[in-house]
Chain A
Amino acid sequence: MKSHVWRPLYLVLGLIALVLIARLFIVPKGFGVNEQGYMYGFYRKANEAEWKSLGAKYKTSEYCKNCHADKIATRKDSLHAAIPCENCHGPAGNHPDNPPKLEIDRSRELCLRCHAYLPYAASGRATITGINPEMHNAGIECVNCHNAHNPKREATR
């Protein structure tokens, strides 16, 4: 074995050893095969908790109810009761701390998401009152005439 022929091999073995040692430092703690096995569960376990710890921005209408129960009550007998507050008022986040004021989307485009007429009988759209946006008071915001919280009631503006 004392032949010069093996020298490149020693060099290669040295390199492999270097890579293996480097791996000890590079691979993050907790990286390995987890519950789902090698094919689907080879990862850094701590990442799961990182994803879980992200804060929610949309807090649901239940959260709004804590302070704005009166507003929620106004829509009780309306079809719009199904629409979550945050769809128009924007995600609550940590309101009222941050942001202190939510930006309300009063645009015509918002209402048209559901109320632009589309002749799609096979879809849920058919069950909603629809208008032709070009014919029905084009350019005027819907909330000028309609009460968004409860369309049955008078407009508030």
Chain B
Amino acid sequence: MITRRDFCKKTMLVAGGLSLPLAALEIFDPKKLLAEKADKARVRWVFLVDTHKCVGCGFCVKACKLENELPLEANVARTWVERYVVTRDGRIYADTPNAGRDGFTNDKIALGLGKYQQVKKENIEKAFFVPKLCNQCENPPCVQVCPVGATYQTPDGVVLVDRSWCIGCGYCVMACPYGMRFFHPQYRVVDKCNFCYHRISNGMKTACMDACPFGARRIGNIKDPGDPVTKIIMRERVGVLKDEYGTKPQVYYLGLSKEVK
């Protein structure tokens, strides 16, 4: 037989027990997070790539590797340059030999397995270069899947890796649709482009932007309406890569073509 006193006691217990996990869940409140996201930071780094201007010299790749202490001979890169050659009969060839570190100095397109393809001038419908770098996504899937909180998005929108905390599981590498992440050959933890965070945070530009003689790469702050990069992104026709993944990439492209992978 349950007395009223017992009933009240038990009800309180159950209610208390239920409210405990609810309180623990409060950090997930999306509204609160959105509010926090909206007002805190005055800076949101974005990048603008003008593919019309790129000549495929690869100075950006070399500068990036030296600036960020990634061995030149290591076959990974924080940024790279791709070449696309579309033939008259509609075939698309693409390559990025050594990530474009030494530029593109001949018309042999690498096919892998030691094979090359040469396309004659008269067979080329269009050909161009596309620099790639981390998109510093607004919804970075790589950060979402890190099991230990070793990679994160800074308040100014850059995705960083905590080298002292990364366990090297490679899940973030798998989660990035752009193939930006890799294992650093010396630190043996994940590494990636971070818009040269040490430079942009101290009033400089990224190493790739500084190395580009043609102005094909530019960094900007999308929260500053006066920023020339922001103006272009707002007023001109820009594209982004693979937006179908819902990552909201923040590297904008002028002159993007449907062939670009």
Direct contact of A and B (CB under 8 A): yes
- The chain A residues found within 8 Å of chain B, CB to CB, are 28, 31, 33-44, 47-48, 51-58, 60, 82-84, 86-87, 90-91, 109, 112-114, 116, 118-125, 127-128, 133
Q: Is B211 an interface residue (CB 8 A)?
A: yes
Contacts of A112 in B (CB 8 A): 103, 105
Say whether B162 contacts A43, CB under 8 Å. Answer: yes
Among residues of A, the one whose C-beta sits closest to the C-beta of B208 is A58
Check A122 against B152 for contact (C-beta < 8 Å): no
Q: Cβ of B144 and Cβ of A40 under 8 Å apart?
A: yes
| Interfacial chain A residues near B121, Cβ < 8 Å | 119
Instruction: Pick from A56, A120, A123: contact of B204, CB below 8 A.
Output: A56
Q: Which residues of B contact A51 (CB under 8 A)?
A: 160, 194, 197-198, 201
Cross-chain contact B213 with A82 (CB below 8 angstroms): yes
> Is B57 positioned at the interface, with any CB of A under 8 Å from its CB?
yes
Rank and list the top 5 A-B pairs by shortest CB-CB distance, nearest first: A113-B103, A43-B152, A120-B127, A37-B33, A54-B198
Q: Which of A44, A56, A60 contacts B162 (CB 8 A)?
A: A44
Q: Out of B56, B102, B140, B154, which one reaches A123, CB within 8 Å?
A: B56
Using known A-B contacts A37-B33, A58-B66, A123-B56, determine if residue A84 contacts B211 with beta carbons closer than 8 Å: yes
* B164 contacts chain A at the CB level, 8 A cutoff: yes
Minimal beta-carbon separation of B109 from chain A (angstroms): 11
Taken residue by residue from 129 to 152, chain B's Cβ proximity to chain A (1 for < 8 Å, 0 otherwise) reads as: 100000000011001100001111
Interface size class of B (residues with CB under 8 A): 35 or more
Residues of B within 8 A of A91 (CB): 63, 66-67
- Alpha-carbon distance A104/B166, docked complex (angstroms): 37
Q: A-contacting residues of B (Cβ < 8 Å)? A: 27-28, 33, 36-37, 40-41, 51-59, 63, 66-67, 85, 102-107, 121, 124, 126-129, 139-140, 143-144, 149-155, 160, 162, 164-165, 194, 196-199, 201-202, 204-205, 207, 210-211, 213-214, 216
Say yes or no: B153 contacts A36, CB within 8 Å: yes
- Docked pose: A57 CA to B68 CA in angstroms: 8
A44 CB contacts on chain B under 8 angstroms: 149, 162, 164-165
Residue of B nearest to A116 (CB): B105
- Contact check, B152 vs A34: say whether CB atoms are below 8 A apart: yes
Bound form: Cα–Cα A83–B215 in Å: 10
Besides A35-B155, A36-B36, 20 new A-B residue pairs in contact (Cβ under 8 A), listed by A number: A36-B154, A37-B27, A40-B152, A41-B153, A43-B162, A43-B165, A47-B152, A48-B154, A51-B198, A53-B198, A57-B67, A60-B204, A60-B205, A83-B213, A84-B211, A114-B57, A120-B85, A120-B126, A121-B127, A123-B54
Residues of B within 8 A of A40 (CB): 139-140, 143-144, 152-153
Within 8 Å CB of B124, what residues of A? 119-121
Residues of A contacting B27 in the complex (Cβ-Cβ under 8 angstroms): 33, 37-38
Q: Which residues from A are CB-within-8-Å of B63?
A: 58, 86-87, 91
Check if A47 sits within 8 Å of B103, measured CB to CB. no
| Residue on B nearest A127 in the bound complex, by CB | B55
- On chain A, the residues within 8 Å of B107 by CB distance are 118-119
**Which among B63, B105, B128, B205 has the highest number of chain A CB atoms within 10 Å?**
B105
Across the interface, do A57 and B66 meet the contact criterion of CB distance under 8 Å?
yes
Cross-chain pairs A/B with CB under 8 angstroms, 22 sampled: A34-B155, A35-B40, A36-B36, A36-B37, A36-B152, A39-B143, A39-B144, A40-B152, A51-B198, A52-B202, A53-B198, A84-B210, A113-B103, A114-B55, A114-B57, A116-B104, A119-B107, A119-B121, A120-B129, A123-B55, A123-B129, A124-B54
Closest Cβ of chain B to A103, distance in Å, is: 12
Q: Give the complex CA separation of A120 and B54 in angstroms.
A: 11
